[in-house]
Each structure stands twice: as structure tokens, then as C-alpha cells.
Structure 1
């Protein structure tokens, strides 16, 4: 890697086997990093000053489809931690960015990377903190019931219940065996990119407006990283309709939060993420 100030490693939440019939990142070697990083076109300007690499993430061991429920998140989280540890030990990077809206393994990775003095960021955590700086309350646009309830836990985990106005579900799903889903989320993305009418964007815009009118939201963000592609489409539509609100997505927020921590020379607190044998210990934890 070159001697740029920022040396980042992106780690995908998971990768699918090469022969998987479902949409999602595949393990195949030789895929350019720009193709592996979702929505690279929207993020390119944020990476001009970054020397970055991309890891495909752990191979799914629950099946050959995209992660969506708690069991699947837990299994890929365990698979991602050895990749994080290897990256820290390599000495090549000064920050790690975990892909995936559900941020599997993020807290565990914070504990691990702190020992090496390397900050690690992820999508949900970064979005929530950025959104809390931009307004009073944020709304999350998510896509399926099971993922929405998983994301509900993240809001509680990151102590953002007072800043989250609502999570709005637009009713799409990742493709899986034994389900004949008529409405495919990935198909909606293809429509939007082709300039066609996209029902997913229509629903996201409608739910964003409802979140502002009914729930008190003044910032919009997204849950699943599979929906981050909607950011420019939803932002444009809301602004055209007169809604002067920030619309943010997780990868950009995670990149900027990583830069901030590198610039400021900080990483996670050793009290929040203590080592196995800390030199000092608090006598109690106060809630």
C-alpha cells in the first residue's frame, strides 16, 4: 500500500459461494475492489485520499443466500472476527470498516481492534451518530420484518432510543430458497439504475415523508446495506418535494467516522472495551 494518510480495509459482512443462484457478493477471486464495494460510484469522492483494500468477508455457512435474520447474522459475525484480527496483526491498516447494515460482529471487533490501537467503524453505529449531529430525531428506512426487529436491537444497543423517531418498513426481502417472492429488492435496484419507475424508491419516499409528518423525524437514514443504493434517489425526491432534510447512508458515514478517529488519534475506550487483564478497573458500573 502507498503512504497515504488513510489506510483502510473494508470487510464485507459475508460472501456467497460462486454457484449461489441468489444475488449478493460472491467469493470469486479477481473481482475488482470497486465492484465489491457496494455503491462505489456514490462513495468514490470520499476515497480519493484513502489507500484502501477490500476483503470479501466470511463464506456463509448457513446456506447460499444473503444474511437477513438473527441466526444468519450471528453465524457471519463469528466468521468475520478472524479476518479482523489478521488485518490488525498485518500492520497495513490504520482503520477497518465493517460492511453490512446489521453490522455483524461490530462490538466484538471494537474489543479486538482496540488492543491494536486501530479504530473500526460500521454502518448502523456510524449513521446513528452522524444523524444525531444533524437533527433532533432520525428515521430508519428498512426493508423486511425480521431485519427491522434486528435493527431495533441495534438502536437500543447504541443507546439511541431517544434519538430514533421510528423504523419504517417498506416490505421487501432478500431472495431465499422455498420463497417465490414476486417483489425482489435487487430487481428494484436494477429498475432505479436504469431510470425506470422503482416501487422500492416510491415506498421509501412515502415512508420518509410519513416519518417526518407523523413521527417527528428530521433526518433520514437506512437500515439494511442492501438499501443504501436508494440514498441519492430518495434524497432527490424529498428535496424536489420541498423537504429540506439530510439523507445519509452507512458506508459514507462509516468512512467519515473512520477518518475522524484517525485524525483525532483515538479509538474505543479501554473502559468500555477492557482488555482481559486491565491495569485499572472501575469498582462498579453505573446505569
Structure 2
């Protein structure tokens, strides 16, 4: 038995018959994970289960707004509590960009001494180990602002050089055919290039040359497929900078926390009636 017993939780699942599916929401666990072949080596030594994510209540389409992020984050919390209470897992990995429900999930899991990790948080902290400034390559204006919120919340404003927008939004009923990302992914995987990948290269170079970034982060899980392709394209033109992807980062940070035997601080995430409390909190 592996020392790593992880539950991976997708951000949400959509009802059958929707027109905006970007991955499978049923079937073998491997088919429900974005870019499984890229993740496979990182999961090889883990006993892992996958929760497909709670059924979306914001609508039958991907998350695009802060309202939707709050909705799917709230829907995740019972899944985290159930996983922690089951005794089956020693870490929970929240898949998906934008980290919906992450801080609240840590509060829940702290009661069970189980670490929880998520994509953006893990990437930002790994980027801090690799260089001085990172830039986030992200998909759309509304998603950019969720990432902006996370940069501030995670106290990364001094480390984040910029958020760069490639403007390939997720599909919604109001814009059903707005340059679909899955088509861009398929084109890039087949031919090595696509308009979305080309835009990511342009914005990554601008982040390096104009903003001072020395590490690149991908913001949305729907764009995580670009990591090996973007890394290769940047190296080909002479920019030897790390390109990070959220799912792998979150998995590896979860392993590290298990190895260290630590989870969230009880001072950062106190229980309802902590044994010790502080008279003052300072900034």
C-alpha cells in the first residue's frame, strides 16, 4: 500500500446532455481528469480516488464568474468533509483553476489533520522557489479577476509580475461558439500549434520582457494542456523559464505535506473553541 492515499476532487460536474462539456463527467476516473497522460507519472505512486465534483448549481456550463466560483466552492465542502471523516485519505487535492472552496476546505480538513492542496496556491508557492517573479497566463477577463483575487488573498502581490490574458473564454449559453478551447487543444496536440497556444507564447514573452517574470503559471485548468507545449516553444526561442501547471503542482505539494507530517496551522484555521487564543492579530 502506498503511503499516499489521496482523494482528487474536480471543481464540478455538469448534468448529462449539456452542450459545454470539456471533459468526461462519468466513466473511469482516468477519463475524468484533465490531461491524464501528463498527470499519470505523478500519480503512479499514489493510491488515489477521484470525486467527479458536485453537480453544478450555477448552470449547466463551466465556471466563468465570481458568483459561479462561490457556488461550486460551496458545493465542494460536503465532499471534503465526507472524505476527511471517512479515514480513507491522508490528503485531499482540489483540481481545477481558480481554487474554489480552497480556504474553507482547509478549515474543514484541519480538524482531521489532513492537508488540502489546490492548483493556483500550489503553483504560486512553487514559483516562489524557482524565481523572483511569476506571471499568470490566463484565459479570459472574468477568470483573470478571480486569479487577481487569489494573488491578493495569498499575499503574492510582491511576487506576481502580471496576469496576461489570451482571451479564449470558456463557453456559456450566451456565447456558445466563442473560440472553443477544446478545439484549440486538439489542434495543438495534433499539429504542435493553435491560435490559443500562439497567444500564450506571445503573452509569456511579453510577461518576461516587459513585466519582469521569470516563471510562468497557467491560470485555468482548461488551459493546463498547454504546459509542455508552451515550455517547448519558449525554450525554442531562447527563454529557459519554468512553466507550471496546477494539477501536478497540487499533487506534488500534497505529497510534500504528507512527507513532512504537517497540515494547515491551527492559528490560521482555528477550531470553534481553540484551547489557546490570541488577543491581537497584526498585519
Q: CA deviation at 1:134?
A: 0.2
Of residues 91, 97, 118 in structure 2, which corresponds to 1:95?
91
Note the residue ranges of structure 2 that are not aligned, 5 or more in a row. none
Scaled by the length of structure 2, the TM-score of the pair is 0.98
CA contact (8 A) 1:141 1:208 kept: yes
2:49 counterpart SS class: strand
Offset, 1:178: 2.4
Runs of 5+ unmatched residues, structure 1: none
For 1:17, the equivalent position in structure 2 comes to 15
> How far, CA to CA, are the matches of 1:63 and 1:180 in structure 2?
14
Deviation per residue, 1:184-225 (Å, 9 max, x gap): 112101111222530100000110000000000000011111
Question: Partner of 1:246 in structure 2?
Answer: 242
Alpha-carbon offset, residue 19 of structure 1 = 1.1
Q: SS of the residue aligned with 2:244?
A: coil
Matched with 1:4 is 2
The match for 1:46 is 42
> For each residue in 1:227-254, what CA deviation from the matched residue of structure 2 results, as whole angstroms up to 9, or x when unmatched?
0000001000001111111111001110
| 2:122 aligned partner | 126
Q: CA separation in 1, counterparts of 2:204 and 2:45?
A: 33
Q: Distance in 2 between matches of 1:56 and 1:25?
A: 11
Report 1:89-168 matches (<5 A): 89-168=85-164
| Residue 195 of structure 2: aligned partner | 199
| Structure-1-length-normalised TM-score | 0.97
Equivalent pair of 1:10/1:97 in contact (CA under 8 Å): yes
The alignment of Structure 1 onto Structure 2 pairs a total of residues equal to 283
CA distance in 1, matches of 2:242, 2:145: 24
Which residue of 228, 233, 237 maps to 1:237? 233
User: What is the alpha-carbon distance in structure 2 between the residues aligned to residue 27 and residue 101 of structure 1?
Assistant: 17
DSSP-derived class of the 2:48 partner: strand
1:176 corresponds to 2:182: no
